[in-house]
Amino acid sequence: MTLPYVCLNCDEEVTLDTAAYKLYCSEGCSQEAELVRYLRRCTKDGRIHEPDVAKAIQIRLAAVMAGGYPKQARCIPPKIRAAVIARDNGQCRACGGPGTEIHHINGSSQALGNLQLLCDPCHNKKTMAGMVMVHPDEKLQIKSLLFRARVGAEQPMRICGDEENWSGQWRRLMSEREDELARLVEDKIKNRRPMTKQEKRYWDQLCWRSMSKEEREELEEAQAEADWERDYPEEAAYQPA
């Protein structure tokens, strides 16, 4: 069964497994669409010529071209942050100046060995360097040409690149997509076709939303009981004489 359901940003088919993003096939596509809208706005109001904005755009663009920036990687728990600052004596590991940013050396691992303290300029430099490591292959060239075309086009080429009307559109699109997803899962259940883990989770979400407060509480209680029986089988089996 083919889903009549494609990514707003790239027309790639969206499966129930990637439906977490609802409107897009991936976090990368969601970020790319967001950047298209942002660039179109900045071009229109002239902010694109401000050095700060230009720098921020350059970094986000490099990230998007490299397939997106892992969002979790940016969030470092305070404990880990403090440990990195202490280990590096508050100094930028690249230039020795006062350090302010925690840099992931490779990938998004939060292990101390993968983190280092840097100052803002050194952090930007390293982030950029890490991203342009992606080879400028044909696919990437096409992607960046397309991107430029989308930003420069008089009329937005895609609904998700429409900087003026997007905020009014996305809610409607989201509920359309959610209805479509619900229909697909229901179809599977009716035809007794096996569901993937993702599909089951989505189905649970749907049921949860359609329940009353009492029904939810009842289910939560039953779930807690089942968990308890699983985790403490001996205590659960104990029958007072």
In the chain, the amino acid numbered 233 is P
Over the window 133 to 172, marking each residue x when it contacts Zn ion by CB under 5 A and - when it does not, the resulting string is ----------------------------------------
DSSP state of 98: B
The residue (of 98 and 107) whose beta carbon lies closer to Zn ion is 98
Total chain residues near Zn ion (CB under 5 A): 12
Query: Does 80 help bind Zn ion (rule: CB under 5 A)?
Result: no
Asked if 46 and 34 touch (Cβ cutoff 8 Å), the reply is no
Query: In the range 93-112, which residues lie near Zn ion by CB under 5 A?
Result: 94-95, 97
Query: Does 12 help bind Zn ion (rule: CB under 5 A)?
Result: yes
Query: Does 92 help bind Zn ion (rule: CB under 5 A)?
Result: yes
∠ CA(71), CA(68), CA(200), 5° rounding? 65
From the CB of 38, what's the least distance to Zn ion, in Å?
A: 18
Query: Does 9 help bind Zn ion (rule: CB under 5 A)?
Result: yes
Query: Does 20 help bind Zn ion (rule: CB under 5 A)?
Result: no
Helix or strand (DSSP H, E) at 101: strand 101-104
Q: Token pair of 47, please? A: 């902010």
CA distance 146 to 239: 69
Over the window 22 to 51, marking each residue x when it contacts Zn ion by CB under 5 A and - when it does not, the resulting string is ---x---x----------------------
The closest alpha carbon to 85, from 102, 110, 97, 72, belongs to 102
> CA 149, 150, 154, 157: dihedral to nearest 10 degrees?
130
From the CB of 50, what's the least distance to Zn ion, in Å?
A: 23
Query: Does 116 help bind Zn ion (rule: CB under 5 A)?
Result: no
